[in-house]
Amino acid sequence: MTRAPNSLTRYIFLGMAAGLLVGWLWPEFALNLKPLSTVFIRLIKSLIAPLIFSTLVVGIAGHGNLRQVGRMGLKALVYFEILTTLALIVGLVAVNTVRPGV
């Protein structure tokens, strides 16, 4: 019987489960870990912008036809606008229906 290799997804779910367990069983200890979580979130934020920028640069540089890149960019912009508007509508309906904080 072969054992499946440890994947990143498995480690992520194990970390989430461990975080939930620590927060539930030892909430005072979990509060002491707040500086660690702040550093982690700041590291993630510092990686997102360069990652998106480099992905866009490599994607555009990989295409030889600029007309195709422009068409793809227009489609992406329209897709972004439609989904952002939809997310805004869903959020407004949810807030006005549930009325949190009242």
pLDDT in tens, 11-54: 999 999 999 999 999 999 989 999 998 998 999 999 998 999 99
- At 4, the pLDDT band (50, 70, 90 cuts) reads low
97 to each of 85, 88, 90, how far by Cα in Å? 18, 14, 10
In this predicted model, what pLDDT tens digit does every residue of 57-78 receive, in sequence order?
A: 888 788 777 788 788 889 999 9
Distance, in Å, from the CA atom of 42 to the CA atom of 54, rounded to the nearest integer, reads 19
Q: How far apart, in whole angstroms, are the C-alpha atoms of residue 58 and residue 39?
A: 29
Main-chain phi, psi angles of 73, to 5 degrees: -65, -40
